[in-house]
Structure 1
């Protein structure tokens, strides 16, 4: 089983898994990449999954009990930027510029700060979050121990660099003094003091001043316009010699800096694996904190991962549905469900939440196998190798209409791998054709799947399916205990039918045996919603 076939994009969207993933608020690009690269754990990874869930539980408990320290950790994580490009160039031993070295130095200092916080917060400093020390790298890039993130080519990097810069400073000082002396000489000779940049700008109308400057051998015309002339102080031969020497020193300085950068790259590249391990650890820490935060937000719990092939969920909730109901001041009904290898058939009332139950099961299993906590009171999950969900589009606004042919095409593929220990969930099987043939096809598929190693859950309104030997039959309690008269009155007084049904509908499941017919409630629902009595009576006569 190829892991990327665990669940397809259509199903992720339908059950709300992609929405949950989007709601994991990571703080760094590293955490974002870790989230994007999340893969489901399958049966061969069971011990890794158990460890990941245990680690997540530790992070969740830490998040709940040490909020101030958690905020410090989040702040330390938040400032860590993505320097993957610089690391990649370092790995290839490419020449790094000062921007690359600045990024690396900043990263080393930020990770060292995070590492210090984690060491103090030892409960959360788990093996998967272990950070390699960056102290040696910080010392390498900050030889003068400035403690600032900005990278500078310090004199301390080499004796030659220090000597070159010392000589440069002396020459620059002498050049400045000689230029100042030259300005003073021009003033003494002409009575006109050049500006700091060595220029005299003279209006074309000032003939005397122009003539004085023309006769001075220490200046020359550098530019002229219709209104003025600009005279520039000429450098002496000694000054030009110093300037040429300074130019040579700048070339030497560039060469020495390039040499130093090569040495830095050589030394840093020896520990690239260590830096890459830190990137992974920061991404994991960021992602686990996001997972823990989301688990706290939705009231999720750690699922127990079973060795066998069964699924036991107590008071499970489908998050997207729960959020939608809360927005309408309503509450979701948490559902208990136990599944094992073979087929479980669910029947029951229209609008009884059967489709939501399918989505809830597939979501809880998928979250569990992505090492996330699940919205339930408890959950014991036997790992599956794939999740397949087929739901009716009239109950899923996120799907396009599917034909009977498309349904059978998809079923053909999943049935072919039903021995691969997957989770198969089918809503209203074979609904897209005539009832007689649909019932026959549904019965044949159930007969085929009941002895396979996959866990299959099917909803249907067809009679006769629940008497198939070896099939577990669950039924939505529905409106069986509701006060129908009161419900009708509420419907007449409130146009929001869905709220009335949510109030009176019992969405819980109960196992039933030796019941051949599925519940007959379509006419009752139609009557409650106000369909003409004449039509209702006529339909009852035709049953």
Structure 2
């Protein structure tokens, strides 16, 4: 069973949460992309994950430790393909060998960091330095991460390089002798590369050079002519010898790289295990940091299928309000199997409350801390949402048709333990039929194993037995005389936000939907005559 479909994730802004979890290494990013929820039956595994997260919180708070982690993680590259190539018998390039050597040093540094700071690890997160491979790639124990094919890898390579050095030395020595002779005989100094540029107006010198045995023409411009040392027969032989030695050196270096690649391939399990451990540590540090950023708490995971949130906050909405110097009103709610209905005026925060319950529940299932004072949760098998405009242009469905399609999908799952969230049930059709459908759906879901939370603007939908009626406090406690006095001195939207109480309260099942809509209309400046007529109509109803 799919835990959350794409529509539900989008409705709950779940991707926003994932985007806020910062990972640094390619392995941490990989594990973040593969994050899966803990579902019903995986309570112990989720508790263990949350405990790990709790253990890492102090180290995230320690700026020095966090900086040390970032410094190491920032240099880690994705070497999975290189290790796989070595495993399959390919010969790695010097760049790949350098990167693996550097990775081994980073593993050692990470292991030291964790041991020095007594940072706990679990079996699937252990960092294990691969000392033999590290020594193989750093045979002279330089401790420098740069890679070089050392002479000690091969006696033949050592001999070839020695011969190369001697041959190069002979070439330079003979060229030096020729340079000195040219300087003595022609009174000119050659450049370090053995060339000289002679102006064309220096005809006497050019005539001397024309038949000179140790210089040869290279190129010319409209002003100068360039010459270089003419190789002697011995220099030509030495240069040919040098080319052969370079070819031998390359072939011998290839053998060394082949040997090193095989050794890396043999240790693929250790390398992959360290990559996995780094990814898990990186992800848990990212989750811990986000938990601190939202002042989150560890949810209490229980066997009973319940959701209890104490002063929960919607992180995305809270961040948005903070930019406007406004505060999010925390929401407290207790839900169990069956149906709970939220009633209240538009702008009263019903939809946000619905999203908050879904988002915090999803976060807990994914092993994250929760932006709340406390949360108790029994795991579900799924979360299903019908929130927002469900019009489907692809299927030619109206808003009502799209909504009913999603509600039907939720109803089909309702015999399993899950969370169903429905916003403004049957809002896309006429009021009489919408009320009838809403009440019928509530009646059907109230005895199912799913926890269903819905919002409605219909009276009496929540007056069935076993249905919990939650009401937005709204403007019910507002002194409207005081409010009217402030209406001319304050932005009307800000005024509503300041006076609106978004908290939920449990009310008796026969309590009507509150009439905050009239008060909101009054604040927003709707004509007084219209408002008076509306109040009369309500009294007559």
Matches within 5 A, 1:57-206: 57-64=54-61, 66-186=62-182, 195-204=191-200, 206=202
Unmatched runs of 5 consecutive residues or more in structure 2: 391-396
TM-score normalised by structure 1 residue count: 0.91
**Aligned counterpart for 1:23 among listed residues 20, 25, 40:** 20
What are the equivalent positions in structure 2 for 1:3-42 lying under 5 Å apart?
5-42=2-39
Residue 245 of structure 1 pairs with residue 270 of structure 2: no
CA contact (8 A) 1:31 1:285 kept: yes
Residues 116-125 or 300-309, more deviating: 116-125
Tell me the SS of whatever aligns to 2:476. Answer: coil
Shift of 1:308: 2.2
Map 1:133-532 → 2, pairs under 5 A: 133-186=129-182, 195-204=191-200, 206-223=202-219, 230-393=226-389, 403-497=399-493, 499-515=494-510, 517-532=512-527
Moved more, 523-532 or 366-375: 523-532
Q: Secondary structure at the match of 2:326?
A: coil
TM-score (norm 2): 0.91
Deviations 1:375-433 (A, max 9, x none): 11111111112212222459xxxxxx971111112212222222232211111100111
Task: Give RMSD over aligned pairs.
Answer: 2.5
- Asked if 1:53 corresponds to 2:47, the answer is no
Give deviations 1:415-466, integer Å, cap 9, x for gaps: 2222232211111100111111001111111122122221110111212322
In structure 1, stretches of 5+ residues that fail to align are 395-400
Q: Deviations over 1:236-285 (max 9, x none)?
A: 33332222221111111000000000000000111112212222221221
| Whole-angstrom CA distance in 2 between matches of 1:116 and 1:123 | 10
Query: Is the contact between residue 186 and residue 216 of structure 1 (CA under 8 Å) also seen in structure 2?
Result: no
Partners of 2:339 and 2:320 in 1: CA distance? 30
Aligned residues: 532
Distance in 2 of aligned mates of 1:189 and 1:515: 119
Q: Distance in 2 between matches of 1:75 and 1:482?
A: 54
1:348–1:518 Cα contact (<8 Å) kept: yes
Give, in angstroms, the shift of residue 224 of structure 1: 5.7
- Secondary structure of the corresponding residue to residue 466 of structure 1: coil
Structure 1: how far apart are the matches of 2:296 and 2:344? 28
Task: Please say if residues 487 and 523 of structure 2, whose CA atoms lie closer than 8 Å, have aligned partners that are also in contact.
Answer: yes
The whole-number CA distance in structure 1 between the counterparts of 2:330 and 2:263 is 59
Which whole-Å CA distance do the structure 2 matches of 1:419 and 1:302 have between them?
29
Q: CA deviation at 1:216?
A: 4.0
Separation (CA, whole Å) in 1 of partners of 2:399 and 2:502: 28
**Structure 2 vs 1, CA of residues 107 and 418 (structure 1 numbering), >3 Å: closer, same or farther?**
same
Please tell me whether residue 43 in structure 1 is matched to residue 40 in structure 2. Answer: yes
The DSSP-based 3-state class of the residue aligned with 1:472 is: strand
Paired with 1:62 and 1:175, the residues of 2 have a C-alpha distance of 61
Question: Secondary structure, in 3 states, of the residue corresponding to 2:462?
Answer: helix
**Per-residue displacement from partner, 1:260-313 (whole Å, max 9, x unpaired)?**
000000001111122122222212212211211121121110001122211111
1:80–1:111 contact (8 Å) kept in structure 2: no
Q: Find the residue that maps to 1:25 and give its secondary structure.
A: coil
Say if 1:220 and 1:233, in contact at 8 Å, map to a contact too: yes
Q: Hey, what's the Cα distance between the residues in 1 that align with 2:516 and 2:187?
A: 112
CA 1:528–1:216: 2 relative to 1, 3 Å = closer
Task: Evaluate the alpha carbon distance shift between residue 229 and residue 451 of structure 1 in structure 2; reply closer, same or farther with a 3 A threshold.
Answer: same
SS in 2 for 1:405: helix
